[in-house]
Amino acid sequence: MTTKYVLRFVALGYLAALLVVPVGLVVQRALADGPGDFLAAITTPEAMHALWLTVLIALIAVPANTVFGVLCALAIVRRRFPGHGLVNSIVDLPLALSPVVVGLALVLVYGRNGWWGSWLIDNGFQVIFALPGMVLATIFVSLPFVVREVVPVLREIGDEQEEASATLGASSWQTFWRVTLPAIRWGVAYGVVLTTARALGEFGAVSVVSGRIAGRTETMTLHVEERFQSFDLTGAYASSVVLALLAVATLLAMTLLRREDGS
C-alpha cells in the first residue's frame, strides 16, 4: 500500500515545513541564550503582568463565550427559527473579520467620539483603552468556537433523548442539565479549548483597543511585539513559547479528561 506511505509523507512533510519547523524555531530561539535567559525574560515585571492580564481576559471571555455558545447552538439547532442560517453565519463572522476592522468598529462605538463612548467616558467608565475594551475585543474574536463545535454534535445526537426525557415528565431545565449537556460535553470541551487558544493568541484587535500601556494594558501578545521592536528577540520568543505552552496545555487537559472518561 504505497499510497498510504505517500499520503503520510505528503501530510507530514507539509506539516513539518509549515508548522513544526517554524514553531520549533521559535522554541529553539527562545532557549538559544540558555534556560537562564529564558526564565529571566519571562519573569520581568512586564512579562508577568502581561501573562496575568492575558489569563484574566481569557478567564472572562472563555466562560462568557461558552455559555453563549451552548445557548446559541441550542437556539440554532433545536429552535430552528426563521433566519437561523443567517445567525449561524453571523456567529462565524468573527473568524473572518480583520482585526483592524474589529478594532475600528469597537472604537466607533466606545471611543471618545463613539456612539456610547462619549457618555461612558464622561461618566467615568473607561471601556476602550482599558480592560473592558480588551475583553470585548477578545470575546468578539473568539465568539464562534463553542457554537461551531456544539452545533454539529447537537445535530448528530438528535432530539429523541430529549423528547423521551420530556415525555417522562422532566422539566426543560432538567432535560437540559441531565440529557443535553452531558451529550454535548465533548463538543463544548473542544470548543472551550479552541476559544481559550484564540483568546490567548489574539493580537490585532486587542492592539487597536488596548492603548499599549506598559504594565497595565499590555497582553502577552502585545508584549511579544514590544520585545521584538526593542530588539529583544529572546524575550519575544520566550513569551511566544509561554503562550504556545498555555494553549497546548489546555488541549492536553482535554485529551486527558477524555481518556479518563473512557470515550
Partner 1 sequence: MSSVAQPVVKPLRRRRNPASLSLGVTSGYLSLIVLIPLAALVLRSTEGGARAFWNAVTEPQAVAALKITFLISLIVVIVNAVAGTVIAWVLVRDSFRGKSIVNALIDLPFALPTIVAGLTLLALYGPKSPIGVNVAYTTSALVLALLFVTLPFVVRTVQPVLLELDRDMEEAAQSLGATPLQTFRRVVFPNLFPAILSGTALGFARSLGEFGSVVLISGNQPFKTEVASVYIFGQIESDNVTGAAAVSVVLLVASLAVLLAIGGVRRWATRHDN
Partner 2 sequence: MRFLILAATTLALVGCGGTSEASSDGAKLTLVAYSTPREVYAQLTEDFAKTDAGKGVSFEESYGGSGEQSRAVESGLAADVVAFSLESDMTRLVDAGLVDSGWAGAAHDGMVSDSVVVLAVRKDNPKGIKTWDDLTKQGVEVITANPFTSGGARWNVMAAYGAQLKQGKTHEQAVGYLRELFKHVSVQDKSARESLQTFAGGKGDVLLAYENEAITAQQKGEELDYVIPDQTLLIENPIAVTKDAGPEASEFLDFLRTDEAQKVFAEKGYRSVIPSLVDASTYPNPKTLFTIKDLGGWDEVQKKFFDHEDGIMAGIQREVGAALE
CA distance 171 to 79: 17
CA distance 188 to 192: 6
- Neighbouring residues of 168: CB distance < 8 A, sequence distance ≥ 6: none
Task: Specify the DSSP element, H or E, that contains 129.
Answer: none
User: Is position 227 an interface residue for partner 1 (rule: CB under 8 A)?
Assistant: no
Residue 235 near which of partner 2, partner 1, none (CB within 5-8 Å, type-dependent): none
Span 129-158, contacts to partner 2 by CB under 8 A: 129, 131
Which of 204, 180, 163 lies closest to 73 in space, CA to CA? 180
Span 127-186, contacts to partner 1 by CB under 8 A: 136, 139-140, 143, 152, 156, 158, 166-176, 180
Say which residue the cell 417522562 belongs to: 168
DSSP 232-249: -HHHHHHHHHHHHHHHHH
Q: Considering only 24-32, 79-87, 226-234, 241-249, which stretch makes contact with partner 2 by CB under 8 A?
A: 226-234
User: Is position 59 an interface residue for partner 1 (rule: CB under 8 A)?
Assistant: no
Span 33-52, contacts to partner 2 by CB under 8 A: 45, 49, 52
Give the distance from CA 36 to its chain's centroid. Answer: 30
User: Is position 120 an interface residue for partner 1 (rule: CB under 8 A)?
Assistant: no
Tell me which of 3, 123, 167, 229 binds partner 2, using CB under 8 A. 229
Query: 3-state class of 100 per DSSP?
Result: helix
Say which residue the cell 467620539 belongs to: 113
User: Is position 107 an interface residue for partner 2 (rule: CB under 8 A)?
Assistant: yes
Residue 3 near which of partner 2, partner 1, none (CB within 5-8 Å, type-dependent): partner 1
Applying CB under 8 A, the residues found at the interface with partner 2 are 45, 49, 52, 56, 59-60, 63-64, 66-67, 107, 110-114, 117, 121, 126, 128-129, 131, 211-217, 226, 228-231
